[in-house]
Amino acid sequence: MKEKSTRCVHAGTIKDAATKGVNTPIYTSTAYAYLDQPQQFYPRYFNVPNQQAVIEKLCVLEGSESGLVFSSGMAAITTTLLAHLQTGDHIVFQAGVYGGTHHFAVHELGRYGIEHSFTEGTTRADFESELRPNTKIIYVETPSNPLLSIVDLDMVAALARERNIMSVIDNTFASPINQNPLALGIDVVIHSGTKYLGGHSDICCGVVLASDDVIATVRHSSLSFGGSLNAEMCHLLERSLKTLELRVRRQNENALTIALALAKHDAIARVFYPGLESHTAHDIARRQMSDYGGVLSFELKDAAPTMFLNSLRLIQPAMSLGGIETTICQPAMTSHVKLTGDERLKLGITDGLMRLSVGIEDAQELAADIEQAIHNSQNTEGDNSESQRSKTARV
Ligand SMILES: *Cc1c(COP(=O)(O)O)cnc(C)c1O
C-alpha cells in the first residue's frame, strides 16, 4: 500500500470478524470487562477500537509513528502545547496563525506563566529574532489563513533542530494529501479534522501525529484534559477519509482553475493562491507541497462586498472550510472582525478580500457563479451591455 488513494481506503480498517463485513464495526461500549485482558479500554484513554482504526489510517497518510484523535482541532492544539510547555517556557508562533490558536496564546498561556511571541514575517530571520533562551516550541501554519502565506518547512525544521526546539505545524489547509511535514523534519503535525479530513461540514474533530515519544507525552496530558472523540464520530471520520484523496485532488484542480480565471479578471485586484506563479512564495510551495489545496483568496476591486455575497447563487457564504461544497467568507467581517481597520490593513486584509473554500462541484459552474455575482454587485448603472459581453468571453 504505497499510494495515498489506496491507503485512504484500506489503512487501519478493523475487519468485522463475526460477519466478515468489510468495514470497521462501531464499538459503542464505554465499559469493558477487565479480568481476562491486560489492557483497560476506555474512550477517554484514547484506546477504543474506533479511535485506533481511524488514527492508524491517519498515521499511514501522514507517515507518522503514532497519533491521537480529539474532539476538535483546538483540543488537539491546546493539549499538545500544554503537554509540552512548563511555567517559564516560551513559544514562538508564526504571524497569522488560526484565530482560535491566536486567542489561546494571548488569553490562556500567560495564566500558566508561559511566554509567547509572534513573528513579524515568515523568513528565517523573522523566526530567529523571536527565539529566546527559554524557547521550547516553534509553531507554524502553512498555507495560512486568509492570504495563503507559505512558510519554508525545511528552514523551520533546520532552525528548530539546531536549537533543540520542537517544531509544530498546523497542516489543516494542506491536508495529508498535499503536504507531509514529518518527512521534511517537522516534529509534530496537527489537523483540524473539521475541515478536509471530515470534508462534509458535519464532523468536529482534531488530530495530532508525531513520534511515539511525543505522542506519549501528549497522551499523558490528554487523559486529564479529556478531549477524546466518541466512536460514532470516529466512524464518520474513518468513512470520510476513504474519499480524502479523491476529494482533495478534485478540490486542488478546481481551485487552480478558478484562481487562474480570477487572476485574469479585470474586476479582481489580486488573487492569493500558492499554485499561481504570481504567489510570492510559489517556489517554496512547489518544493514542499505536492499540490496547492482548495483554499484561495481574492480581492474585489470595486464590487460591493455585501452585494457580491448576496448575489451568489451556488456558492454559500459560510464560515469554516474544507467541505465538498464551495463556501466563501469575507475575513474583514468574520475571522478578523475584532481587529481595527488599521490592524487589518497591516495584515493585508481589505474589506474586499474574499476567502473561497473550493468544493468538488463543476469548476466552470463555480466560476460562472462568481462572475455573475461580480457583475451584479458592480457599480454598473446605465448601459452594462459591455460587461455582459465580456462575461461570456472571460469564463
Ligand atoms: C478550524 C481550524 C482550527 C480549529 O479547529 P476546530 O476543529 O474548529 O477546533 C485550527 N486551525 C486551522 C487552520 C483551522 O482552519
Among 308, 298, 299, 309, which Cα is nearest to 379's? 308
Q: What is the pLDDT of residue 389?
A: 40
Asked whether residue 144 is assigned to any structural domain, the reply reads: yes
Asked whether residue 395 is assigned to any structural domain, the reply reads: no
CA of 204 to the centre of ligand 1 (A): 9
Q: What is the pLDDT of residue 395?
A: 38
Clarify whether residues 182 and 43 are in a common domain. yes
**Domain containing residue 105: CATH number:** 3.40.640.10
Radius of gyration of the chain from Cα atoms? 22
Q: Running DSSP on this structure, what letter comes out for residue 16? A: B
Asked whether residue 173 is assigned to any structural domain, the reply reads: yes
Domain end residue (candidates: 201, 223, 241): 241
**Domain containing residue 265: CATH number:** 3.90.1150.10
CA 53 – CA 284 distance, rounded (Å): 34
Residue in 81, 171, 172 to alter for ligand 1 test, most ligand atoms within 8 A of Cβ: 172
Clarify whether residues 109 and 216 are in a common domain. yes
The pTM of the full predicted model, rounded to 2 decimals, is 0.94
Q: What is the pLDDT of residue 47?
A: 96
Clarify whether residues 80 and 160 are in a common domain. yes
State the catalytic residue, choosing from 44, 239, 270, 394: 44
Clarify whether residues 260 and 378 are in a common domain. yes
Domain end residue (candidates: 219, 241, 263): 241
Asked whether residue 127 is assigned to any structural domain, the reply reads: yes
Clarify whether residues 251 and 230 are in a common domain. no
Which positions of the chain have pLDDT values less than 50?
381-395
Q: What is the pLDDT of residue 46?
A: 96
Clarify whether residues 128 and 250 are in a common domain. no
Domain count within the chain: 2
301 included as an active-site residue: no
Domain end residue (candidates: 197, 224, 241): 241
Clarify whether residues 137 and 190 are in a common domain. yes
CA 161 – CA 265 distance, rounded (Å): 44
Q: Which three cell numbers stand for residue 45?
A: 484513554
Asked whether residue 201 is assigned to any structural domain, the reply reads: yes
Clarify whether residues 214 and 195 are in a common domain. yes
List the domain range (segments joined by +) for residue 72.
4-241
Residue nearest to atom 2 of ligand 1 (CA): 192
195 included as an active-site residue: yes
Clarify whether residues 128 and 270 are in a common domain. no
Asked whether residue 394 is assigned to any structural domain, the reply reads: no
Atom of ligand 1 nearest to the CA of 194: 7
Clarify whether residues 236 and 355 are in a common domain. no
Q: What is the pLDDT of residue 347?
A: 85
What is the CB neighbour count within 10 angstroms for residue 271? 22
In sign, the C-alpha dihedral spanning 362, 364, 368, 374 is positive
Clarify whether residues 97 and 208 are in a common domain. yes
DSSP string, 35-63: TT-SS---GGGT-SHHHHHHHHHHHHHHT
Clarify whether residues 218 and 195 are in a common domain. yes
Q: What is the pLDDT of residue 380?
A: 54
